């Protein structure tokens, strides 16, 4: 397994729209394993392929304390959404920033699992929020897009400054 590099806002590659996975073959299975490994190492609860610069429709999530309940959705499709829930979100591509975002409270999705087998899933609360957040990534959308342009600009400026410092090795 390998740890992949996570792109950070405002990288343009995070804005690419992902394409559907045609077949869950060995290459995709390896990518899923690497994405999980990358997510666990970064101490995140979710990761979309877009964030590791692979523009295919794959997301992984693990909300368990023990980090032993990975969930993988390939080609996820929202089939139902109701209610509104506001909660604090963060993102491995927007490190260090947490803001409140409104999402659907209850959703139903269908997807393929890590073996390519179709399944449907009903989700509430945190899992529903997380799936919607990760599905947004596949559309090139980030949680900061739900914030005011002033807030988004502030986050952008701060992250750009950090990236410049990292580049110069300071
Ligand atoms: Ni994210």
pLDDT tens digits, the chain, 170 residues: what are they? 799 999 999 999 999 999 999 999 999 999 999 999 999 999 999 999 999 999 999 999 999 999 999 999 999 999 999 999 999 999 999 999 999 999 999 999 999 999 999 999 999 999 999 999 999 999 999 999 999 999 999 999 999 999 999 988 76
CA distance 9 to 15: 9
* All residues with CB under 5 Å from ion ligand 1: 91
Kindly report the backbone phi and psi dihedral angles of residue 62, in degrees, each rounded to the nearest multiple of 5, phi listed first: -150, 110
- What pLDDT is recorded for position 170? 62
Q: Measuring CA to CA, how many Å separate 54 from each of 74, 123, 128?
A: 13, 26, 23
Q: Measuring CA to CA, how many Å separate 135 from each of 2, 65, 79?
A: 23, 22, 13
154: tokens are 């502030």
Query: Pairing between strand 71-89 and 58-61?
Result: antiparallel
Residues recognised as catalytic: 134
CA of 46 to the centre of ligand 1 (A): 7
CA distance 40 to 139: 23
Write down the H helix ranges in 50-148: 125-138
CA of 141 to the centre of ligand 1 (A): 9
- What pLDDT is recorded for position 10? 98
Residue (of 109, 170, 114) closest to 134 by Cα position: 109
Q: Which helix (H) or strand (E) holds 164?
A: helix 149-167
CA of 67 to the centre of ligand 1 (A): 18
CA of 63 to the centre of ligand 1 (A): 14
Reduced to 3 states, what is the DSSP secondary structure of residue 34? helix
- What pLDDT is recorded for position 1? 79
- What pLDDT is recorded for position 102? 97
Answering whether pTM is above 0.95, one says yes
């Amino acid at each position: 397994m390998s740890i992949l590099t996570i792109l950070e806002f405002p990288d343009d590659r995070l804005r690419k729209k992902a394409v559907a996975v045609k077949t869950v073959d060995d290459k995709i299975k390896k990518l899923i394993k690497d994405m999980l490994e990358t997510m666990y190492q970064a101490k995140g609860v979710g990761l979309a392929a877009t964030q590791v610069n692979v523009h295919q429709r794959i997301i992984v999530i693990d909300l368990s304390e023990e980090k032993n309940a990975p969930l993988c959705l390939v080609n996820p499709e929202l089939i139902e959404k109701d209610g509104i829930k506001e909660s604090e979100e963060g993102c491995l591509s927007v490190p260090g920033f947490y803001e409140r975002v409104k999402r659907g409270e209850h959703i139903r999705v269908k997807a393929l699992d890590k073996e390519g087998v179709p399944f449907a899933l009903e989700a509430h609360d945190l899992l529903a929020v997380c799936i919607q957040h990760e599905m947004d990534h596949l559309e090139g959308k980030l949680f900061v897009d739900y914030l005011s342009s002033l807030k988004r600009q502030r986050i952008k400026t701060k992250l750009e400054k950090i990236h410049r410092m990292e580049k110069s090795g300071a």
